[in-house]
Amino acid sequence: MDKIAKDVGDIQSRLLHHRPIINAEIRYFVREFEERRGHRESRLLENLNKMVVETNGQMLPTNLEGVNQGVMSNIIKRCKSPVSDSHLQL
């Protein structure tokens, strides 16, 4: 009786356990999709990544301390300007 129950359990798990079949179908679909598209998406993403890296290199200043000092001096000038103007109006 135990052997029959075990065999029925094995058959049931094989019939109802679809994960291996679904995984194989997904792998097949992805492989076919990539081959038909000629890996265009991968090349497109690689090109976009290169463009982003190049743009970051061009856009970001290499001397951040100098930029920060320039911004800070500009802020200090702006802060002092209204104070000196208010003394003149009194």
CA distances from 12 to 1, 2, 8, 15, 85 (A): 16, 15, 6, 5, 88
Q: pLDDT (tens digit, 0 to 9) for every residue of the chain, 90 residues total? A: 778 888 888 887 777 777 888 889 999 998 888 888 777 878 888 999 999 888 877 776 566 666 667 777 877 777 776 555 555 554
Whole-model pTM?
Answer: 0.33
Tell me how many degrees the CA angle 64-65-71 measures, rounded to the nearest 5.
90
- Copy the structure tokens of residue 21: 């079949």
Q: Are 67 and 61 in contact (CB under 8 A)?
A: yes
- Copy the structure tokens of residue 78: 């702006």
Calculate Rg over the CA atoms of the chain: 34
